[in-house]
Structure 1
Amino acid sequence: MTSPDQSTAGVDDTSPRVRIGGRERLILAVLLTAGFTLAVDFSILNVALPAIGADVGLSLGGLQWIATAFSLCAAGFTLLFGRIADLFGRRRLFLAGIAVLGLSSLIGGSAGTPWVLIVARVAQGLATAAVTPAALSLLTTSFPEGPVRDRVLGLNGALMAAGFTTGAILGGVLTDLLSWRWAFYINVAVAVVVLLLAPVVLSESRPERRPALDVPGAVTVTLALLAIVYGLTQAGQKSWGDPHAYGALIAGAVLLIVFWVIEQRVPQPLVPVRVIRRRTVGWGNAAGLLAFATETSVVFLLTLYLQEVLGYSPLAAGLSFAVLGVGTVVGGVIGPRIIGALGNRNALVAGFLLQAAATLPLVFLDDRPWWIVVLLATTFVGGVANLVAIVAFMVTATSGLPDEEQGLATGLATMSQQIGITMGIPIMSALATARINALGGQTPHTVLHGVSLALTVNAAACVLAAVLLGVFLRASGRARTPAGTAPQR
């Protein structure tokens, strides 16, 4: 296997068109359908929360747990399940997770009491934590490292990003036309189809010699991630000064330190230190975390702008992000070509810089209706740029590792993705809220200023990410290198 720090001298990997066979297309269809469905689940209930609360008797303050219960489990257990996929079989874990997803969605859609609904969301989160890294590692082990895998990861990234946007739109449509319960029931149909096809088209993938599971490391890192995600969600719902928020974040940081110590001492660590110390893994995952944190928070901030300043309905605001969804699909398609031309590091840097350039005009939004045209154009460009960065992050973070460690690599990548999704909104929400309160409370005028401040910080974060990646991440990937020329370091 070629190291990610090597280029293929004298070979232009971008010239021949990448071809994928019939069986590979079936594998892609199954895995990408599952990934898209899970991405939809992150946002599909957001618009429906008031209707859900009224139907099942959940108070306004309790509605947050519909989202929090899901995100806690989806982010908290993903690294553990990624490693379990390596040890006990990726296909096996994928199928088990899909089965749990289908059953929990059936229960959630039929729920008549709050506790049943919350339990169903917990189970959906656990299913997501199991299926996402298993599906991603099945992708990376089913396709060889190079242009083919880059293209596959590009499609995966495009569909997952489009899934977040689709979820917001689909949730509003289903709630208005049918019932919020159909936001759960559609998962049941998808799960049945995937469970029928997956055993036929997917091959089992696991090492011949099964190492022991690092139980102390698994328990410690899972508790750490649960604490961090809980702290972030509490900060977003209440404030960064809330004792539950900063207490959980401090506890999570301490547990991560304990986990780091454990991993250096156990004979078969859950996350070998040598893997984390690889620049492609460490900086690649940092890039992924920032890519998801910045773009999901932009969606949140623009939702505030559209509803509180321009007066859009929730459904109209959701539909406004359809252009962003198109941009993410375009970015996922062209991302592998950009990586082939520029290399992983340069594609990451270019993606973040273009995303910052697309975010900057949004800083100057005002209450005039025609600004919607600027918003649509810039979110399209930002979506393209963000997906280029996401595809480059996925390629960087999973390249150069043997197949037996792909579950670990994809578990880390999935963890970065989900924590990025979780942390972006609370941080930007805190900035916007602080500005709104400083100006005297919530009015269209103060919301506009709060959103502007947070978008400024968001664009600055993208520029900072580009600078750090350009300096500290070695040039890598399959950029075209003249024969006889040493690859760039």
Structure 2
Amino acid sequence: MTTDTRTPAVSGPHTAAPENTPRLTGRAKLVLFVLCAAQFMVALDFSVLNVALPALGRDLGLSRSGLQWAVTAFTLPSGGFLLLFSRMGDLYGRKKLFLAGLAVFTAASLLATFAWDPASFLAGRALQGLGAAVIVPTGMSLLTTTFPEGPLRDKALGISGTLLSLGFTVGMVLGGVMTDTLGWRSTMGLLAVAGLLVLFLAPGLLSESRTPERPRLDVPGAVTVTGGLLALIYALSTAAERGFGGTDVRAALAAGLVLLAAFVVVESKSPAPLVSLPMLGRRTVAWGNIGGLVTFSMMSTVVFVLTLYLQETLRLSSFLTGLVFGVQGVTSAVAGAYAPRFIGRFGARRVLIGSLLAQGAFTGVLLGMGAESGALLAALAVSVASMGHLGAIISYGVIVTSGVPDEEQGLATGLVTTTQQVGLTVGIPLLGVLATTQDALFDGVRLVLGIDAALVIAAALLVAAGLGRRKA
């Protein structure tokens, strides 16, 4: 495949006539189902436990400060090891690693389900995160190498992006219902059952995929990027709970930045780099990932502060709060269904820019919420903002992976998935903490929403300038 990045998917309409547009075969649909189910399962894991944390803490004896580790234990390895496992999949076989990640994730979910004390539960969560760090990049690479660039890949990425966003939303709703009816352990049991189902179907459907050459693994690059991401995610996750004043937070933040800087130096000199710096120099890869980072980090922040607003300011129950985000899930599904069509007609560049503008504008509409009422406005505005969010997710994935040869798809999709995971992790610590440290929570929520909206709109303008009008 050519490395020419001037593809219709990036900046212009596909030239194939509608009647010549290829369709998914029955087997291709099953492959897509398996890969998307795995992505959905991991996305579900990010949020399904959130509303169950108080019940979990009472059952296992976790303190309030210790509850953050139920989340951090998962996000540390899931974000920190993504690039490493993405490259290992390129070199040693994506299917092989995908199945190994599924096995680890499923076993870890069973451990968390039957945990008998805090240590066993946190060990299960950490292993879930490790499994997720394998599943997400290898699954995305299998998707982009299975479906050829053009309408089929756009459609596959659209379905995958929709389920990724829906998984986070559905997890919040489903977690509350399951915890109230079956107990918190059922949330982890659900993930174990899903993992077993995908593990049963995947071996017979997926084909092995790897790079034709077998260069040595870039160990110095792996150590510096993994250590840097682990330190950075730890610092930001801990800061969300305790602020940036702690010595451990500041030390981890500094170590993370130093290690990531060292990673850039290592990669510039490595004969077989973990991340190709020339690839990062591609306009589409650089600006596409910037758009992805902003849409993920800012939308996760909106969900976080809206949850605080609905439950602590308006005093809505967990069930009613879930219904608000349920509306968001429906509109996200609609956006996911139509985004590939818009990309085919207008190009991914325009869809990304327009989607970011929509997300930012309707995040700004949330500033109209009041201290005593505003649930309906919140449901409507966040639902439209989420449609923009879904459009941005799908279009930035198309932009970053278009024009990249199959042997480098792991590198490209590793960057895509790292952007997703880091975006989900950094938004809340950077902005969400502002909401919880103000004298009045409602004032803090408004402050965060205003900053959030401004950053997304500014990012849309920067991405527009960075990608340019010409085909990239």
- State the TM-score, normalized to the length of structure 2: 0.96
Aligned to 1:239: 243
Match of 2:453 in 1: 459
2:336 matches 1:335: no
Alignment of 1:36 onto 2:26: no
Distance in 2 of aligned mates of 1:152 and 1:14: 19
Structure 1: how far apart are the matches of 2:192 and 2:177?
18
Aligned AA (1:450): G
Aligned partners of 2:58 and 2:32: how far apart in 1? Answer: 39
Are residue 292 (structure 1) and residue 286 (structure 2) matched?
Answer: no
d(CA) in 2 for partners of 1:430, 1:171: 24
Structure having the higher helix fraction is 2
For each residue in 1:300-352, what CA deviation from the matched residue of structure 2 results, as whole angstroms up to 9, or x when unmatched?
11111101111012232122100111121112111111212222221111001
C-alpha distance in structure 2 between counterparts of 1:201 and 1:454, whole Å: 45
Aligned counterpart in structure 2 of residue 53 of structure 1, from 46, 53, 57: 57
> Within 5 Å, which residues of 2 pair with 1:449-488?
449-475=443-469, 488=471
> Shift of the alpha carbon at 1:7?
3.7
Quickly say closer, same or farther: Cα 1:107–1:10, change in 2 above 3 A.
Answer: closer
Indicate the residue corresponding to 2:197 in structure 1: 193
Percent identity between the aligned chains?
46
Q: Distance in 2 between matches of 1:246 and 1:474?
A: 38
Check whether the contact 2:313–2:372 (CA below 8 A) recurs between aligned residues: no
Instruction: Extract structure 1 runs of 4+ deviating beyond 6 A.
Output: none
| CA drift at 1:246 | 2.6
Give the Cα separation in 2 of the matches to 1:405 and 1:469: 24
Which of 395, 399, 402 is the matching residue for 1:399?
402
1:154 pairs with one of 158, 177, 185: 158
Deviation string, structure 1 residues 232-263 (Cα, Å, up to 9, x no partner):
11111111233222321221111111111111
* 2:408 corresponds to 1:414: no
Which of 92, 98, 112 matches 2:102?
A: 98
Asked whether the equivalents of residues 154 and 336 of structure 1 are also in contact (C-alpha less than 8 Å), the reply is yes
Q: CA offsets per residue over residues 421-441 of structure 1, 9 Å max, x none? A: 11111122222234x2xxxx3
CA RMSD of aligned residues (A): 1.6
User: 348, 365, 368: which one pairs with 1:361?
Assistant: 365
Could you tell me whether the CA contact under 8 Å between 1:327 and 1:382 is conserved in 2? no
State the Cα deviation string for residues 429-454 of structure 1 (Å, max 9, x = none): 222234x2xxxx3xxxx211111111
Aligned partners of 2:359 and 2:384 also within 8 Å: yes
> What is the count of residue pairs matched by the alignment?
468
Question: Which residue is 1:426 aligned to?
Answer: 429
Deviation at 1:279, TM superposition (A): 1.2
**In structure 2, distance between residues paired with 1:92 and 1:138:** 11
Letter aligned with residue 84 of structure 2: L
CA distance in 2, matches of 1:191, 1:488: 41
Q: Hey, what does 1:479 align to over in structure 2?
A: none
Q: TM-score, normalised by structure 1?
A: 0.93
Q: Deviation string for 1:176-222 (max 9, x for gaps)?
A: 00011111111222222212211111000012321110001001100
Contact 2:8/2:15 (8 A) holds in 1: no
User: How has the CA–CA distance of structure 1 residues 198 and 252 changed in structure 2, closer, same or farther, with 3 Å as cutoff?
Assistant: same
Q: SS at the partner of 1:321?
A: helix
What are the residue-to-residue correspondences of 1:64-83 with 2, within 5 Å?
Answer: 64-83=68-87
**Structure 1 spans left out of the alignment, 5+ residues:** 476-486
